[in-house]
Structure formats: C-alpha cells, structure tokens
Amino acid sequence: MSALYEIEDGGDYYLLRLVSPDGTNRLTRACVLALTDCLKDLAGGNVPLIVAGNSKFFSAGADLSEIAALSAPQAYEFAMMGQKLMNAIEGFPARVYACIEGYCFGGGLDLALACRHRIATPHAIFGHRGAALGLITGWGGTQRLPRLIGKGKALQMFVAAEKIHAAEALRIGLVDTIAVEPIAAAIQKIKRIHHGDTGVQRRRSEH
C-alpha cells in the first residue's frame, strides 16, 4: 500500500483507490509520478482497472498551493507529467473504469476523462474550477471533454467554471452510468464482458 493510493487485486480486475491524508485525493506531483509508475506495473497483466476515490471525493484535482509555488519551467514539467499519466490511463491495454463518488474536479476530472468508462453515484459533482482562479488544465482535458460532450458544453464547464451534477452528467454523456454502488457496477460489467455476455446493452462509448 502507498500513502497516495491503494491497490486491490480482485482477480478479474485491479482496484486502484486514490488516498490522501485530508481525503480530497489531490493529484500532487508525488501522486502523479506514483500513479504513472503504478500504471506501468499494472499494464503488463492486461487486467481491467477500476479507479476510485472515497465517498466524498473522487479527486479535487491538482494541489493549487503546490502549483502556485512552481516556476514557469517547473509548471511546464508538471503539465507534461500530468499528460504522461493521462496518456497511460487512456492507452492502458485493458478497460479502465472511473468510479466516481462526490467531487470530481480539475485534474480529477481529467483523470476520469482519460478512463474508457465513467460510472457515477447520484451525488457526484463534476467541474473544472480552474478558470475561476485564472487557470486552465494542461493535462489533456481541453481535448477530451469537447470530444465527449461537445464544444459548447465543454466551454461552459471550462470558461464559466460550471459545476455539473450526476443527472446532468449522464444526460450530456459525461458519464456512462449512474449507480449507487459504482465499484460493484464496474465489477459486474467486467464479469459480463469477461464471460462474453454479448446480449448486454452497452452505451456507444463502450464500443
């Protein structure tokens, strides 16, 4: 177990749970590097991956106090580190499921967008709040979000720093499914696919 994440081997899947002392699961530089190394280790097994946080926070995103202290070269390096992590998630050899409870903001939303599937609880809240602070993501969310929900809605989230609740996220295609127990729902999907249940109706994003 790491202080930044926990890994559970479920046999048919890995569960990677984000962890932090304050429970907000901020994606610090140390966390981004640790997660990137973890993804590299897990990729060889070609086993589906579930990424989750806790009941209140999937992730609050990057640590803004840490970002504020970075020089311009360090900020660029951090952007590249984040992109490397998101690309590792997007290019993971097996399906990756983001199971989202509570807040999913900023870099946390970038992480969820890099996953192939997103399952949220009814109380999940999404947003890219950086614009309200004069910041914009450098981790690929500006490309992934418009592709998923369209340019107009993505601009609302980026420029107006608009928060999206789970029901609206489902309506606009930001998430695939709403479930009270998203991890259990992801495991069920994994087992159905593993056993070749072709009769299961899947959303377009799963193809």
CA 17/CA 34 separation, integer angstroms:
13
Question: Which residue stretches of the chain have pLDDT < 70?
Answer: 1-2, 130-137, 195-207
Q: What is the pLDDT of residues 146-193, one digit of tens each?
A: 999 999 999 888 887 789 999 999 999 999 999 999 999 999 999 998
- What's the domain count of the chain? 1
pTM over 0.85: yes
Give the CATH number of the domain where residue 77 resides. 3.90.226.10
CA-based angle 203:204:206, to the nearest 5?
Answer: 75
Kind of pairing between the strands at 103-105 and 57-59: parallel
Domain that holds residue 121: 5-206
Ordered strands of the 5-9 beta sheet: 5-9, 14-18, 49-52, 96-100, 117-120, 177-178
Q: Quick one: how many helices (H) and strands (E) in the chain?
A: 8, 10
